[in-house]
Amino acid sequence: MWNGKKKAVTFSFDDGVTQDIRLIEILNRYGLKGTFNLNSGLLGKEGELLRNGKNVRHDKINANDVKTVYAGHEVAVHTLTHPTLTTLDKKEIIRQVEEDRKALSELCGYEVVGMAYPNGGINNDDRVAEIIKNNTGVRYARTITSTYAFDKQENLFRFNPSVYYIEKQLEEIVEKFLALEANDRQLLYIWGHSYEMDAEYISWEKFEKICEKLSNRNDIFYGTNKEVLE
């Protein structure tokens, strides 16, 4: 695991929007890997969001482009239509998750096994996690709760990321991770939405500098969520 290295970096981005194309170009430039969480029921849908006082495009990748756009990275579940799972009954939770997983697996040509919970606020709990664990093919699911840490976590169905990339702590967390001399496995897990760079919560230039800083380290394994968690 991790090619014998104690430290690993992974990225995770939600919603499957067209800004992912530019983001993936940056990740590829620096040899970094990410997992992209898609709503198969919304693929191809055009939209716009007001974020940070700016109107930004929220256009979803077309279904027939998914395999090509995300080649070399991982596609994962984000539910069919992006509901808050904690408000749903068991049957609908299973449908939202498993039907999304099956549809994405068909589009990608491999079995999709990862997931990120959709929506902000309280978007997951033990009930939902247990339903997903026992009734779907998902094997790990990410929350939106930052730990600002890198330690191993036992519960992969409520897996907490290190940092949300628009948070002010991002650069501090990255520097802390790079300086770390790890005795045990340490994972830097960064997540977000690529459209947030168009909204200037973080600039594309700053994100690229973070990627450059993290790249080409002999003591770090670079992988998708699946590669670092399993």
2-229: CATH topology is: TIM Barrel (3.20.20)
CA-CA distance, 166 to 200, in Å (whole number)? 9
Q: Which residues pair with 141 in a beta bridge?
A: 115
Sorted by sequence, the CB contacts under 8 Å of residue 166 that are 6+ apart come out as 192, 196, 201, 202
Using N-to-C axis directions, what is the helix angle for 19-29 and 204-214, rounded to 10°? 30
CA-CA distance, 189 to 39, in Å (whole number)? 21
pLDDT in tens, 40-96: 999 999 999 999 999 999 999 999 999 999 999 999 999 999 999 999 999 999 999
Contact 202, 163 (CB under 8 A): no
pLDDT above 90 (res 1): no
- The CB density around residue 176, as the number of other CB atoms within 10 Å, is 15
3-state class (DSSP) for residue 23: helix
Q: What is the mean pLDDT of residues 97-122?
A: 97
pLDDT in tens, 8-43: 999 999 999 999 999 999 999 999 999 999 999 999
User: Where are the domains positioned within the chain?
Assistant: 2-229
pLDDT in tens, 143-193: 999 999 999 999 999 999 999 999 999 999 999 999 999 999 999 999 999
pLDDT reported for residue 91:
98
Cα torsion for 207, 209, 211, 213, to the nearest 10°? -150
